[in-house]
Amino acid sequence: MSCQYRTKWLDRQNIYYNKMSIAVVTGASSGIGYSLTDELAANGFIVYACARRLEPINDLKDRHGPEKIKPYQIDISNNEEIVTFRQFLESELQNGKVDLLYNNAGQACSFATLDVTDRIMEDCFKVNVFGHINITRELSKLIINAKGTIVFTGSIAGIVSFPFMTTYSATKAAIHQYARGLHLEMKPFEVRVINAITGGVETAIAEKRPMPSNSLFNFPEGLEAFKARSKKVQKMSSSQYAKQMVKVIMNSNDPVDVYKGSFAMIARVLALFVPMWVLNKLLYKFNKLDKVESSIKQKGAKKSL
């Protein structure tokens, strides 16, 4: 290890093993955010656990103590609330430093593309893209002061567009590109930016809303394909994922993309080396769209008769 990189490594260890290290985690009330808050507190961070619902965070507050877990109610889709949060931190933190901003809050959107209304699309982009961009901008000076780290929870859906998840995929692709560009711009300020391209992890983000009654896919084979989007596959526990990501954060390396979670590396290989027509064929069959096509053709043949 060169002297330059060893110095940076030691500096980062001094920051992250300091018991006064400050982390901000959004979407902290469940899943990845909840487990990250737990793991960061266990590694000496004081965590401002941000979420719209604070009740679930109280368990972590009881476990680690109010000096380690500081719940903060915020809806990151509302920029006024983000500005208020920044002002709160500026008055709360005497040294004006945030060592880690973990942009994790997420909004599901698993519908047929043509069923996505303006409202659904806006809600998804406001949380998954605009909210992260706005909070990063507002807290940037505090992070630069600390020479800290910014992490975004990306998704394999941002590199492979899955059927019935195209709007969600678009939000994740957007945040991937934002993180990659920000990584370069923050490098002169010694701030790391990490894009955590996440595979299967046990979370509560799954879409619970039913298919709209007027959907083009509202027939038996279409409904079957729609349900196939949430097939039960083996997923990594959120606590295991959090442990892996905290190791990345504590490490001296400066990666852009980090692949974690079930099937994350497989998705990377598929996206890099499998021709698009082959990948599309696999997704078409896996999501039972071949059955949808057969049904539509049969109905068309009957009408022509």
Joined together, the tokens standing for residue 152 give 């975004």
Q: Which helix (H) or strand (E) holds 259?
A: strand 257-260
Question: Does the annotation mark 235 as catalytic?
Answer: no
Whole-angstrom distance, CA of residue 202 vs CA of residue 257: 21
The catalytic residue among 172, 178, 259, 260 is: 172
Question: Are the CB atoms for 154 and 176 separated by under 8 Å?
Answer: yes
Count, residues in the chain: 305
Question: Does the annotation mark 102 as catalytic?
Answer: no
Question: Are the CB atoms for 51 and 74 separated by under 8 Å?
Answer: yes
The amino acid occupying position 187 is K
Whole-angstrom distance, CA of residue 146 vs CA of residue 133: 19
Question: Are the CB atoms for 238 and 196 separated by under 8 Å?
Answer: no
Q: Which residue has the tokens 């507050």?
A: 61
Q: What angle do CA 152, 147, 158 make, to 5 degrees?
A: 15
CA–CA distances in Å: residue 184 to residues 82, 196, 253 = 24, 16, 14
The catalytic residue among 8, 21, 29, 77 is: 29
Whole-angstrom distance, CA of residue 101 vs CA of residue 223: 40
User: Based on C-alpha coordinates, what's the Rg of the chain?
Assistant: 21
DSSP per residue, 83-97: HHHHHHHHHH-TT--
3-state helix, strand, coil in the chain (%, to 5): 55, 15, 30
Beta bridge partners of 48: 24, 70
The catalytic residue among 168, 178, 241, 259 is: 168
Question: Does the annotation mark 172 as catalytic?
Answer: yes
The residues that are catalytic are 29, 168, 172
